[in-house]
A and B are shown apart, each in its own frame.
Chain A
Amino acid sequence: MITAEVNLKEMGKIIEDIKQKVQRLMEISGGMQCVDRNCDRILASIKMLELNISDVLEFLE
């Protein structure tokens, strides 16, 4: 079994940063479908990162 040093807090911050950037991208897309629909998919993937990492952070301190 491999053990690794992982900075979960830093991961949580990056996940939040990416989310905000994608949301910003949608705000400035002017309704371009090629941007909005792809952002929508990225946000769904970011949600999976939140479920896997961000949601649990408060219980790890």
Chain B
Amino acid sequence: MLVRGVDAYWNPVLETLSRDKLRALQFKKFKRIVKWGYENSRLYRRLYDEAGFKPEDLKSWEDISRVPTLQKEDYRTAQAKDPWPYGDSLCVPLEKVTEYHQTSGTTGQPVYQPDTWQDWEWWSESWSYILWSQGFRNTDRVFIPFGYNVFVAYWAGHYACEKLGCEVVPGGILNTEERLLKINELKATALMATPTYVLSMAEACRNKLHMEPADLGIRRILCAGEPGASVPATKKRMEEAWGAKVHDHVGATEIGGWAYECTSQPGGIHANEAFFLVELVDIESGEPIEEPNRPGKIVITALDREAQPCIRFDSKDVSMWGERCECGRTFRVLKGGIHGRVDHITKVKGVLFSPVSVEEVVRAIPELGDEYELIVGKKGDTDVITLKIEMMPGTGASQEAVQQELVRQLRLKTNLAYNIEFHEFGTLPRYEIKAKRFKDLRK
């Protein structure tokens, strides 16, 4: 068989497979993982039995939507019991578990995530698709400024870099300044971090080391953890600051590294449809969405994960299908990456409001700093949105003019009015991992 693009793709067979063959492969693997979950996990057996569903009911593609979705809360309810701490969600004997990680717990009790060694290989395999598509090669020296700990974050990125043959520099417990000095000393060529931390490192480089981040020689940056790298204004800020290409990646502890932006930068992220079944469903009705440009919620299945399978998991992430990418991959593109979470998209003054749209406005105004905070509260019966921002020092711009432009752009993009608060540069919180910029005090 002639295989085209052995140099361009991590797996040229799967990444360019025709859509009908890809769907057939997905269905075969979906049936396999549903059977595995039902036969080996009390969580899935209970969930499916209660819904009157049996794995044998999966006869055609259309039957997939009959499989009950899994909520984060289902993991929580199933866990914190024997076999400790994974309880009913565990599908293998405890002695087969070699890795422990957990979710951050921002929405409640953290979910415990067991992985077998095979799962751990699978993590780095799925990350290898990501890294290869973004141009990482064995000539790269990759600096990972991540506090290696219980959160999965860049652990698999680290091991996938090794698989690709990259040289990995673990940034571990070094502080930001020490990390920047190490990048400079070792002439690292690539790094991976959240968009928030990429911008924060750039700021520290200028303010503490009195160096331009672009002079450090980083050529590519992988971002994860936040939607920023798919927000055009934030991506532009990062790329200009570092003189590097910035690519997005989406993953989650319970799911795995399931989507990536390739070097063609198609304005979205490819779902790795050989390893994951990604469904987009209507937020209200749950009806499947196949057409482009219609926002929906992502329901996702990791097709090959054994210790704690993730089957039709309600990710609560919102996105939309886009057009086919010029890179040649047949894996579909989620336009604009992740637009936000269902629980963050809320009605303010009767208008549907997504905090990511504010990021796009703030980061597109060069006189404003990278940091901002967004708080929705109430004054009497009226919703009030407060936007806290910082002016970038030394721009010479008038605060009044910047405020006018900001208000105009916000009105244009979100159809809402804001209470704007200017704060002294450097006084809003800085984050190393995921930023917490949005608060809805009405809840």
What 12 additional pairs, Cβ within 8 angstroms, besides A6-B1, A55-B25? Answer: A1-B8, A2-B7, A3-B4, A4-B2, A6-B13, A8-B13, A44-B118, A47-B121, A48-B121, A51-B304, A56-B25, A60-B1
Contact residues in A for B122 (Cβ distance below 8 Å) = 47-48, 51
- Per-residue CB contact flags for chain A residues 35-61 toward chain B (1 = under 8 Å, else 0) read 000001101110110011101100110
Q: Mark B21-63, 1 if CB is under 8 A from A, else 0.
A: 1001100110000000000000000000000000000000000
A3 vs B122: C-alpha distance when bound (angstroms):
27
Inter-chain contacts of B5 with A (CB < 8 A): 1-3
Q: How far is the CB of B123 from chain A (nearest CB, A)?
A: 11
Contacts of A2 in B (CB 8 A): 5-8
Is the CB–CB distance between A5 and B2 below 8 Å?
yes
Contact in complex: A1, B118 (CB < 8 Å):
no
Residues of B within 8 A of A33 (CB): none
CB of A1 within 8 A of CB of B7, answer yes
Quick one: given A41-B117, A59-B21, A60-B21, are A3 and B6 in contact (CB under 8 Å)?
Answer: yes
CA distance A2 to B3 in the complex (A): 8
Chain B, interface size category, equals: 20 to 34
A48 with B125: CB separation less than 8 A: yes
Spell out A's residues near B (CB within 8 Å): 1-8, 40-41, 43-45, 47-48, 51-53, 55-56, 59-60
- Point out the residue from B1, B2, B25, B120 that lies within 8 Å of A59, measured CB to CB: B25
Complex Cα spacing A48 to B21, Å = 20
- In the assembled complex, the Cα of A2 lies from the Cα of B7 at a distance in Å of 6
B275 and A51 contacting across the interface, CB-CB below 8 Å? yes
In whole angstroms, how far apart are the Cα atoms of A3 and B274 in the complex? 21
Residues on A with C-beta less than 8 A from B8 are 1-2
Q: How far is the CB of A9 from chain B (nearest CB, A)?
A: 8
Residues of chain B from 306 to 340 with CB closer than 8 A to chain A in the complex: 328
Using known A-B contacts A52-B11, A56-B13, A56-B17, determine if residue A1 contacts B117 with beta carbons closer than 8 Å. Answer: no
A-B contact count (CB 8 A): 69
- Residues on A with beta carbons closer than 8 Å to the beta carbon of B117: 40-41, 44
Judging by beta carbons under 8 Å apart, are A47 and B118 in contact? yes
Report how far A47 CA is from B6 CA in the complex, Å: 21
* B21, A6: Cβ atoms closer than 8 Å: no
Q: How far is the CA of A2 from the CA of B328 in the complex (A)?
A: 13
Binding site for A on B (CB under 8 A): 1-8, 11, 13-14, 17, 21, 24-25, 28-29, 116-118, 120-122, 125, 274-275, 304, 328
Pair B121/A3 contact, Cβ less than 8 Å? no
Residue of A nearest to B7 (CB): A2
Q: List 30 A-B contacts (CB under 8 A).
A: A1-B4, A1-B5, A1-B7, A1-B328, A2-B7, A2-B8, A3-B3, A3-B4, A3-B5, A3-B6, A4-B2, A5-B3, A6-B6, A7-B1, A40-B117, A41-B117, A44-B118, A44-B121, A47-B118, A47-B122, A52-B11, A52-B125, A55-B25, A55-B29, A56-B14, A56-B21, A59-B21, A59-B25, A60-B13, A60-B21
CB distance from B5 to the nearest CB of A (A): 5
| Cα-based distance from A8 to B8 in the complex (angstroms) | 18
CA distance A51 to B275 in the complex (A): 8
Contact of A51 among B3, B7, B17, B125 (CB under 8 A): B125
Taking the nearest CB of chain A, how far is it from the CB of B6, in angstroms? 5
A41 → chain B closest CB, angstroms = 6
- Residues on B with beta carbons closer than 8 Å to the beta carbon of A40: 117
Complex: A22 Cα to B328 Cα, angstroms = 37
Contact A52 B14 (CB under 8 A): yes
- Say how far B231's CB is from chain A's closest CB, in angstroms: 31
In angstroms, Cα B6 to Cα A8, docked, is 13
Question: A38 to nearest B CB, angstroms?
Answer: 11
